[in-house]
Amino acid sequence: MSHKHPVELGEIAGGGLPASRFELPSITPDNAVLKRLEESCSTVLTDVTSRADASRDWWPISIKWAIGGSVPALPAVVAQPASTEEVARIIAVCDEFHIPATTSAGQSGVCGGAVPLFGGVVIDMTAMTGIRDIDDTSLTVRAAAGTFGPPLEKELRRNGFTLGHWPQSFEISTLGGWLACRSAGQYSTRYGKIEDMTRGLEVVMADSTVIHTGFNAPRAAAGPDLNQLFMGSEGTLGVITEARLSIRPVPESSDNRTWIFSNFLDGLEACRMILRRGARPAVMRLYDDTESTLHFKTSNGCALIIYDEADPGLLSWTLQVVDEECASHHGILGDEDLVSQWFEKRNDVSALAPLYKAGIVVDTIEIAASWKNLPGLYNSCMDALKALPDTLYASAHLSHSYNDGACIYMTFAGQPAGNEEAESQGNSELYYNAAWRRTMEAVMGAGATISHHHGIGIQRASYLRTALGPAWPVMENIKNSLDPKGILNPGKLGFSSYICATPWP
What average pLDDT does the chain have? 90
Q: How far apart are CA 361 and CA 431, in angstroms?
A: 8
- Smallest CA-to-CA distance from 441 within 465, 467, 409 is with 467
In this prediction, residue 356 carries a pLDDT of: 78
| Low-confidence winner among 268-272, 342-346, 415-419, 466-470 (lowest mean pLDDT) | 415-419
Contact 324, 257 (CB under 8 A): no
CA distances from 405 to 189, 258, 411, 422, 458 (A): 12, 21, 20, 42, 26
Mean pLDDT of 125-138: 98
> Could you give the domains of the chain?
3-126 (3.30.43.10), 129-249 (3.30.465.10), 253-345 (3.30.70.3450), 352-459 (3.30.300.330)
Q: How far apart are CA 316 and CA 330, in angstroms?
A: 22
Q: Give the highest mean pLDDT range of 95-109, 345-359, 422-436.
A: 95-109
DSSP state of 174: B
* Per-residue exposure over 337-368, b if at least 16 CB sit within 10 Å of its own CB, e if not: ebbebbeeeeeeeeebeeebeeebbbbebbbb
**Structure confidence at residue 273 as a pLDDT band (50, 70, 90):** very high
pTM comes to 0.91
Give the phi and the psi of residue 379 in degrees, each rounded to 5.
-65, -45
Contact 239, 105 (CB under 8 A): no
Q: What is the pLDDT of residues 17-59, one digit of tens each?
A: 333 333 444 556 668 889 999 999 999 999 999 999 999 999 9
% the chain with pLDDT above 70? 90
Strand order in the sheet with 44-45: 44-45, 77-79, 121-124, 101-104
In this prediction, residue 20 carries a pLDDT of: 33
Mean pLDDT of 295-315: 93
Residue 134 is inside which H or E element, if any?
strand 131-135
209 pLDDT higher than 70: yes
Q: What is the pLDDT of residues 311-361, one digit of tens each?
A: 999 999 999 999 999 999 999 999 989 999 999 988 877 777 788 778 889
Torsion angle in degrees (nearest 10) through CA of 426, 431, 435, 441: 70
**Structure confidence at residue 440 as a pLDDT band (50, 70, 90):** very high
Contact 278, 314 (CB under 8 A): no
Q: How far apart are CA 466 and CA 458, in angstroms?
A: 15
Tell me how far apart the terminal alpha carbons of the chain are, to the nearest angstrom.
Answer: 9
Contact 119, 101 (CB under 8 A): no
A 10 A CB-CB count for 411 gives 18
